């Protein structure tokens, strides 16, 4: 059983925490929470009761957890929670600098990680 995923992400100068957990077969759902300073900004709960009899259930649950966790990180970086996290503040669209897309950071290291790890590292990178 996969216990869960936890990432601290710096976004707009604040540190957010994203946590994804599996509640287990007795209570088959995956829960992802997005925190800012101990306050829950967003949550997503997904049941997997309909697939509980699959042969490779543990692998499927792990993939579902990764996708849900990455999805919350993507939603944060896209600015979806800006109004809740920063009430009254206005920001330019996420990923935009002076009307142009933000440049990608070059990666000069040899690739020794899988794509999920690279994506999670990118999403967790400072703004």
Structural domain contains residue 14 = yes
How many domains does the structure of the chain reveal? 1
In a domain, 127, yes or no: no
Residue 44 lies in a domain: yes
pLDDT, residue 118, reads: 63
CA angle 66, 18, 114 (to 5 degrees): 35
Taking residues 59-72, report their average pLDDT: 96
Contact call for residues 20 and 72 (beta carbons, < 8 A): yes
Question: What is residue 104's predicted lDDT score, i.e. its pLDDT?
Answer: 46
Task: Give the Cβ contact number of residue 127 at 10 Å.
Answer: 12
Which domain, by its residues, includes 98? 4-122
| Euclidean distance between CA atoms 55 and 68, whole angstroms | 21
pLDDT single digits (tens) 25-49:
999 999 999 999 999 999 999 999 9
pLDDT of residue 30: 97
In tens, the pLDDT along 74-108 reads 999 999 999 999 999 988 765 544 444 444 444 43
């Amino acid at each position: 059983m996969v216990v869960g995923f936890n990432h601290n992400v710096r976004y707009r100068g604040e540190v957010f925490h994203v946590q994804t957990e599996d509640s287990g077969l007795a209570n088959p759902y995956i829960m992802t929470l997005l925190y800012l300073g101990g306050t829950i900004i967003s949550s997503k709960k997904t049941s997997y009761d309909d697939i509980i009899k699959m042969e490779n259930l543990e692998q499927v649950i792990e993939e579902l957890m990764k996708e849900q966790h990455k999805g919350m990180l993507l939603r944060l970086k896209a600015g979806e929670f800006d109004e809740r996290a920063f009430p009254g503040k206005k920001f330019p669209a996420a990923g935009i600098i002076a009307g142009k897309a933000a440049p990608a950071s070059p990666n000069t290291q040899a690739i020794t990680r899988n794509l999920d790890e690279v994506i999670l590292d990118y999403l967790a990178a400072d703004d």
